[in-house]
Amino acid sequence: MALRHKDVLGLKDMTVEEIDEILNTAELMKHILRQNNKRTPHLQGKSIVTLFYENSTRTRLSFELASKYMGASAANVSAASSSVQKGETLIDTGKSIEAMGADVIIMRHPMAGAAHLLARNLKASVINGGDGMNEHPTQGLLDIYTIRERLGSVAGKKVAIIGDIMHSRVARSNIWGLQKLGAQVVLAGPETLIPMEIEKTGAKVYNQIEDAIEGADVVMGLRIQNERQKDGLIPSIREYVELFGIDEKRMELASPNVVIMHPGPINRGVEMSSKVADSPSSAINEQVTNGVAVRMALLYLLTRRRSTSHDMY
Ligand code: CP
């Protein structure tokens, strides 16, 4: 089975078969990562470019390492020091990168839909590294991979996502992807940070964090952005911690085998206590490792598809 499209833009439009194909390929890639010599020739002769209009540590670096481990040429365009600052459009920037031979462009952009716009205008594959408040599909995939690795399967598991759902592209990708694979997704956070129509996705909203965590197999914290307090969406960080902070006492309500997750970066002591983040139940570091394996899998599947499909140029 191959991926249906030349791009990876979101989990909302991905089939279960495609998600399974990516997760199974990531498992093979994880074997490579465990070896002393991580080099493989899967991407030899390919060019991968990261184009980031927002800050990133994990996503950008893991794509760069994934490219290099598999023998590709990898380069980064930082919007802050590029011709974007001179007024160049996103499409012109993308076309220039493509004209230099890029096979895959990974883009993070503050505008929802920016990756779709770029993908429509290029023959190169585009991977969405996060577009505004819309989706962060590679984070969703690595989260699903981590749950499957820790718990054996995703189907039937209760996954509680806690915090700022409104502004979280990670939450959206997880809601789409996890529910497709049969998980029950529940959400909790301040009313001002829960989108009105979110229950239409099938996810259930709780006002009390305790109800969301009760019996949960996975508890995923989301970063509380300090600017939300300035926007008046949370009265104070102290009050947020009191009402929605993930701490040891609240975690006692979860399943005994609970997996604690966070996409990072973490505000320790705000959305999650350090004791919880560093506990044996925490898979936060595994998420980062798995991010490299999942991104290796995506680069491999997309470039293989390009080598065999008619939309090759
Ligand atoms: N989780 C995540 O996307 O992290 P970065 O912002 O560091 O890429």
**Residues 178-209: pLDDT tens digits?**
999 999 999 999 999 999 999 999 999 999 99
291 lines ligand 1 (CB under 6 A): no
Q: Please identify, by atom number, the ligand 1 atom nearest to the C-alpha of residue 60.
A: 8
Residues in the chain: 313
Is pLDDT of 284 > 60? Answer: yes
73 lines ligand 1 (CB under 6 A): no
Q: Closest Cα to atom 1, ligand 1: which residue?
A: 263
Q: Please identify, by atom number, the ligand 1 atom nearest to the C-alpha of residue 264.
A: 1
Residue 226's pLDDT is: 72
Query: What value does the mean pLDDT take over residues 208-232?
Result: 90
CA distance 178 to 157: 9
263 lines ligand 1 (CB under 6 A): yes
Q: How far is the CA of 289 from the centre of ligand 1 (A)?
A: 13
CA distance 119 to 311: 13
Query: What value does the mean pLDDT take over residues 241-267?
Result: 97
CA distance 55 to 181: 30
**pLDDT tens, residue by residue, 73-92:** 999 998 877 787 788 899 99
264 lines ligand 1 (CB under 6 A): yes
57 lines ligand 1 (CB under 6 A): yes
Residue 296's pLDDT is: 98
68 lines ligand 1 (CB under 6 A): no
- What whole-number percentage of the chain has pLDDT above 90? 88
Residue 112: count other Cβ atoms within 10 Å of its Cβ: 14
CA distance 52 to 56: 8
DSSP state of 233: S
140 lines ligand 1 (CB under 6 A): no
188 φ/ψ angles, rounded to the nearest 5 degrees: -150, 145
Residue 312's pLDDT is: 38
Residue 311's pLDDT is: 47
Residue 187 CA: distances (Å) to CA of 208, 212, 229, 258, 313: 10, 6, 20, 16, 44
**pLDDT tens, residue by residue, 103-117:** 999 999 999 999 999
134 lines ligand 1 (CB under 6 A): no
